[in-house]
Structure 1
Amino acid sequence: MGKKSTASGRRRLLALIGSIVLSAGLFYAQAATPPAHPPVAPQPAAAPSEAARAPVKAMPTEAELLAASAPVSSAAVTFALPAGVAPENGLQKHTIRVARAISVLFPEIKTIGGFRQDPLRWHPNGLAIDVMIPNHGSEEGIALGNQIAGYALANAKRWGVIHVIWRQGFYPGVGAPSWTADYGNETANHFDHIHIATNGGGYPSGDEEYFI
């Protein structure tokens, strides 16, 4: 395909996805700011108590609205994703696709972290990326983060997104959101970046092509 055709296809795709992102962001932004004293997120294996669930009672509804509000793009529309700003060494295939999509659709993002050593399994196993948000404390930065987090959640089932963490909120791909504990600083509390984890899909062989 020629350069003009590729550029035209990209603009059409960006326009389509942009409408999805903006629609999702309207619902997601309502849940962007955590309470002053957020509760500790329940353990995955245990059912949360009524007291722990009460402060975030509205969150599942907002997350459901987010997913329901995002239309599924036509299978006939495909766009090959070039390598983006995230280093892909050590990442699994589903994680690479999410990182590339965010790079294409959100050119404001200049830094995406990926593989690194960590006590938890997500980054060492190539299952997660950290999307760094410029001017993360500003209204514009928060809005951008909301859009990216909403975009990942809206595509959770299709892309194998397991969870998203943003501004101390823990949003599973399927299930009720909750607040994380206060870990003492902006980075640990995910105020300056969005953590997106996938189910991996296996390590690439080098011949893969990634599409949205």
Structure 2
Amino acid sequence: MKWGKIARICGRGLAIVVSLAVSAALLYAQDQNDAKPKPTETAQAAPPSAAPTSAPPAGTMRVANPAEVAALAASVPMPNEGQQFAFPLPVGVAPENGLQVKTIWAARTIGVLFQEITTIYGYRQDPLKWHPDGLAIDVMIPDYHSDSGIQLGDQIAGYALANAKRWGVNHVIWRQKIYPGVGGGNWTSDYGNETANHYDHVHIATDGGGYPTGQETYFIASMTPTPTA
């Protein structure tokens, strides 16, 4: 059986499991705390901007509390010893030039498990360190206004948080809410459009793990050799 077919079968199966567990928890957390109406502007087809480091004005951004983050991460079933996918992850839709190893690992895993995703942005120049230092990816959500698009973004955000220790996730931003990972996280304000407010993409920032040497092999549940920060 060709690798691509195996990837589609395994990826789709785990993605379905993830979707059932993650979306309910994340949607509950957002429904309980998000009082703001959704923006109505249409995002332009351009790479999104990273979030600023200063605290936002009151009411413009809600930061998920530690209990929400812990509950969301705990709700995602992680691969156990009987579910270790042995095949190495291929280069996916994210350009990997300039990315560090944990960011690459996150991008490749998301590309296999969530094959609806066709665009992931990575390295770019920016005033903040996340994209210029290869620490962040922006996973663009197709049809992000629809219920299915929102659910897909919820699944990806939840999966990233469930892998926070493994990938060294610093923070996840989705739909104008920031979810701190193992390293805390930045804050984001209301920038007046859907891209800047992360309504059309999930922003995932990691601690990097160092730049690749070309000898790395990425799997869903592990990476070799073990990177050094």
For 2:74 and 2:190, the matched residues in 1 are separated by: 30
Unaligned runs of 5+ in 2: 38-51, 221-229
Counterpart for residue 177 of structure 2: 169
For 2:92 and 2:111, the matched residues in 1 are separated by: 5
Counterpart for residue 152 of structure 1: 160
1:94 to 2:102 alignment: yes
1:128 to 2:127 alignment: no
- The structure richer in helix per residue is 1
Say if 1:81 and 1:23 are closer, same or farther in 2 by CA, change over 3 A. Answer: same
Percent of residue pairs bearing the same amino acid type: 57
1:195 to 2:187 alignment: no
Q: CA RMSD in A?
A: 3.1
* Deviation of 1:15 (Å): 2.2
Query: How do residues 54-133 of structure 1 correspond to structure 2 at under 5 angstroms?
Result: 59-75=65-81, 77-78=84-85, 79-133=87-141
Name the SS of the counterpart of 1:24 in structure 2: helix
For 1:94 and 1:141, the matched residues in 2 are separated by: 26
Count of paired positions: 200
Task: Give the TM-score normalised by the residue count of structure 1.
Answer: 0.81
- Contact 2:103 2:206 survives alignment (8 Å): yes
Say if 1:206 and 1:117 are closer, same or farther in 2 by CA, change over 3 A. Answer: same
For 2:152 and 2:166, the matched residues in 1 are separated by: 22
142, 145, 148: which one pairs with 1:137?
Answer: 145
For 1:21 and 1:58, the matched residues in 2 are separated by: 20
Task: Give the TM-score normalised by the residue count of structure 2.
Answer: 0.75
For 1:57 and 1:132, the matched residues in 2 are separated by: 21
- Contact 1:28 1:66 survives alignment (8 Å): yes
For 1:136 and 1:9, the matched residues in 2 are separated by: 25
Say if 1:29 and 1:116 are closer, same or farther in 2 by CA, change over 3 A. Answer: same
- Contact 2:21 2:77 survives alignment (8 Å): no
For 1:58 and 1:130, the matched residues in 2 are separated by: 19
Say if 1:106 and 1:92 are closer, same or farther in 2 by CA, change over 3 A. Answer: same
Name the SS of the counterpart of 1:203 in structure 2: coil
Say if 1:70 and 1:29 are closer, same or farther in 2 by CA, change over 3 A. Answer: same
For 2:199 and 2:208, the matched residues in 1 are separated by: 25
Name the SS of the counterpart of 1:195 in structure 2: strand
* Deviation of 1:18 (Å): 3.1
- Contact 2:103 2:134 survives alignment (8 Å): yes
* Deviation of 1:177 (Å): 8.7
1:3 to 2:10 alignment: no
* Deviation of 1:162 (Å): 1.0
* Deviation of 1:17 (Å): 4.8
- Contact 2:73 2:162 survives alignment (8 Å): yes
Amino acid at match of 1:116: R
Counterpart for residue 223 of structure 2: none
Counterpart for residue 43 of structure 2: none
- Contact 1:60 1:175 survives alignment (8 Å): no
